[in-house]
Amino acid sequence: MTHETNDASDGAVFDDVLFDVRGRAGFVTLNRPKALNALNHAMVRAIITQLDAWDDDPSVAHVVIEAAGDRAFCAGGDIRVIYEQGRGHGAPGNPAQLEFFADEYRLNARLKHYPKPTVALIDGIVMGGGVGLSVHGTHRVGGARTTFAMPEVGIGFFPDVGATYVLPRMPRQTGIYCALTGGRLKQADALWAGILTHAVPSERFAAIALALEQATDIVAVLDGFHEQPPADAKAEPLADLAPDIERIFSGPDVAAILAGLDAESGAHAEWAARTAAAIRRQSPTSVCVVFAQMRRGAKLDFDDAMRLEFRIVSHILKGHDFYEGVRAVIIDKDGAPQWRPARLEDVAAVDVETHFVRPQDGDLVLTA
């Protein structure tokens, strides 16, 4: 995804993200609908600055994060820019890349610890950076078009923006399942998994935003709009798969998970075969790193999880698979990444552990 970004600091008009106070609410509107509202660095910095200002503004009782267009809340960070910074216009590990992730992770922590309620109005795609903008808030309202996913293993990356903390805490190992497969959850499944706190028909979003302008009791307002969504007609409900997911994805390593999927012969044998195939398509290194990340994340508090993510990204940006994955999926779109190594069994344990080593320049400093 590419977009010409106007840096607010240079005096140019900057409209990639809009801010407005209406009644008692501060509204953040992601405004890059043609780019599926993908986050760029200027947007991240602008949101942090505005949240700081509203924190000190007694007239703003709560914050609402919404998005322009009907295709996506936010499809993630602007990966093409990160790719070009590291491979097209510099060397892997370009400091500009880490500056983006450091600020994005600080924004995630700011939202997690924000002293005022935050409401994310999610409809359409919510992936990667969009998850980080929404899931750490106090209320997450999902429309009928909601599609949640953390598909980073498919581009040689890893679920970040706080996923280290969030995914291991989803019920019955379903978060680890999502992390290793890049699986997508629609509205009903996202509600069941706790990604959403409320489900609302898409056509009622304008009414919700209007009601939140003067709301003194956010929970009462959102509860009044909530409607239990129907199950996704094209997929088996996540709740029905959860017992098998819990049994298989509780395995001690990736090999054991794949063995469990391969051996499945019950009612969900077809699902198990598709799931095993999905894992085997991903970057082998990413799959192994992400499994270790999820196991560690289950024991970490939020801020330590963010510091762990900064360690991982610091190492991944210096490797091969991220650039090859972006090339295959986003740049050339040939869908044929050449992973190194190409097989899960060839991923060395020492190479996985390297991703969790403290970077040379130190751990991420959070200002929450």
Contact indicator for 241, 171 with CB cutoff of 8 Å: no
Number of C-beta neighbours around residue 80 at 10 A: 17
Contact indicator for 313, 363 with CB cutoff of 8 Å: no
CA distance 35 to 17: 12
Which of the residues 76, 86, 124, 129 is marked catalytic?
A: 129
129 is catalytic: yes
For 139, phi then psi, to 5°, come to -140, 135
Q: How many residues does the chain have?
A: 368
189 is catalytic: no
- Quick check: helix, strand or coil at residue 89? coil
Beta bridge partners of 65: 28, 120
> Looking up tokens 């090339």, which residue turns up?
327
Contact indicator for 366, 302 with CB cutoff of 8 Å: no
156 is catalytic: no
Residue 364 DSSP label: P
Which of the residues 16, 26, 66, 77 is marked catalytic?
A: 77
- Cis status, amide bond into 58, omega within 30 of 0: no
Number of C-beta neighbours around residue 210 at 10 A: 12
240 is catalytic: no
CA distance 123 to 50: 23
Amino acid identity for residue 229 in this structure: P
CA distance 179 to 287: 8
Which of the residues 16, 104, 123, 160 is marked catalytic?
A: 160
What do you get for the CA distance between the two ends of the chain, in Å?
30
Closest CA to 78 of 43, 46, 50: 43
CA distance 354 to 336: 26
Which of the residues 152, 189, 264, 309 is marked catalytic?
A: 152
Contact indicator for 70, 124 with CB cutoff of 8 Å: yes
* Catalytic positions, written as ranges: 77, 129, 152, 160
